[in-house]
Amino acid sequence: MQSLKAAILGMGMGVPQKVLTNFDLEKIVDTSDEWITERTGIKERRILEDGENITEYAIKAAKEALTSAKVSPEELGLIICATVTPQYIIPSMAVMVQDGIGAKNAGAFDLSATCSGFIYGLALAESFIKSKPETKVLVIGAEALSRKTNWQDRTICVLLGDGAGAAVVGKSTEPEKSGIMDFTLGADGSYWELLTLRGGGSCYPPFDERLPKDEYYIKMKGREVFKVATRMMEKLAVEILERNGFGPKDIDLLVPHQANLRIIEYLRERLGLPKEKVFVNINKYGNTSAASIPLALYEAEKEGKLKKGDLVLLVAFGGGFTYGSMLLRW
Ligand code: ACO
């Protein structure tokens, strides 16, 4: 029995007000509400207005998480911001949050691991708490994917959305009953060409004529991603459960990355879980990459689907590929 465990002490969220429905998209590209709903489960997504920045929503989520955890900004020793769409390259989003919430004693950095970023962040926070048990870590997943979306490309623009979720992680006061139990982090870079955003990287100077204009937006080979994702999600879930002596029936709530309802449904069926044990909010937000899991955890708790002591399984995969799973007691 472990005497020291890290646990999520409080959560917060922040999403733009502007809602973009499938019917709105029908007016922009050759698509339909029927196609999007059937193939992805998405009905609407949140999109930043012109002049807004995702950092303000990350700050909103962070403040709510701190209030909920009853932790002051000064108690934070580290801020990790998982994002592939920071407001700027320099400075990082994490330092802007650090300034925005007045976390005078915290180190801060951005973490780039696409849709698995929040699980990566939680795993790092857990390790940090184990070496400095009296400190607290703020983990944020925040994305402004709409700013890197080609609105002429129907294969991608119907999928993505903007938002931010945050968690304060600290020492569990009841390590036998609550806290992070185990995690897996992984990557397989051989799949990198399936999901890319090459423009803006250091390979080409800005506006380099050699790089086609659409490379300044997220590009994806959706069908291929789908195949790998379904395989990977199942493997991750089964392995972490077995390693900890559990079976699918022991899970109280599965919170998967919200990339496509069909991927989530495939996983649910393979694990033999009833619908009420799998949290889904992709219908409201689309795929928000690193923000997807914290937004789902936040709403699951608010809706009363997460209770103290529940066994929770998080599973995610994303461009790269990166992947991660985490088992915790809420
Ligand atoms: N509206 C209408 N038709 C469309 C649209 C659209 N928005 N997009 C594609 N189609 C058409 C295609 O052109 C194709 O037509 P064709 O049969 O005449 O050639 C047909 O629909 C089927 O296309 P597929 O690509 O085979 O559709 P699929 O069922 O695979 O669904 C989707 C596509 C939703 C992208 C799916 O493959 C998927 O979800 N993939 C995984 C995405 C994902 O999980 N990404 C993860 C990470 S994202 C990140 O990291 C930021």
Atom of ligand 1 nearest to the CA of 84: 51
Which of 239, 237, 242 minimizes the C-alpha distance to 254?
Answer: 237
- C-beta separation of 166 from 140 below 8 A: yes
Which of 137, 112, 114 minimizes the C-alpha distance to 127?
Answer: 137
Domain architecture of the chain: domains with CATH: 6-171 (3.40.47.10), 179-329 (3.40.47.10)
Which of 226, 209, 296, 229 minimizes the C-alpha distance to 258?
Answer: 296
Joined together, the tokens standing for residue 28 give 């922009």
- What is the chain's pLDDT, residue by residue, as a tens digit (330 residues)? 458 999 999 999 999 999 999 999 999 999 999 999 999 999 999 999 999 999 999 999 999 999 999 999 999 999 999 999 999 999 999 999 999 999 999 999 999 999 999 999 999 999 999 999 999 999 999 999 999 999 999 999 999 999 999 999 999 999 999 999 999 999 999 999 999 999 888 888 777 888 888 889 999 999 999 999 999 999 999 999 999 999 999 999 999 999 999 999 999 999 999 999 999 999 999 999 999 999 999 999 999 999 999 999 999 999 999 999 999 999
End-to-end CA distance of the chain: 17
Q: What is the dihedral angle through the alpha carbons of 205, 54, 261, 10, rounded to the nearest 10 degrees?
A: 130
Following DSSP, what letter does each residue of 223-286 receive, concatenated? HHHHHHHHHHHHHHHHHHHHHTT--GGG-SEEEE--S-HHHHHHHHHHHT--GGGB---HHHH-
Q: Clarify whether 203 is annotated catalytic.
A: no
Q: Clarify whether 115 is annotated catalytic.
A: yes
Phi-psi region for residue 309, left (φ > 0), alpha (ψ -120 to 50) or beta? left
User: Which residue among 28, 39, 112, 292 has the greatest number of ligand 1 atoms within 8 angstroms of its CB, and so is best to mutate?
Assistant: 39
> Which of these is catalytic: 22, 81, 115, 281?
115
194 contacts: CB under 8 Å, gap ≥ 6: 220, 221, 224, 225, 228, 319, 321
Q: pTM of the prediction?
A: 0.97
- C-beta separation of 105 from 76 below 8 A: yes
Question: Which residue's C-alpha comes closest to atom 26 of ligand 1?
Answer: 223
**What separation in Å is there between the alpha carbon of 155 and the centre of ligand 1?**
5
14 contacts: CB under 8 Å, gap ≥ 6: 56, 57, 58, 59, 60, 61, 64, 163, 164, 165
Which residue type sits at 24?
A: D
Q: Tokens 């733009």 belong to which residue?
A: 16
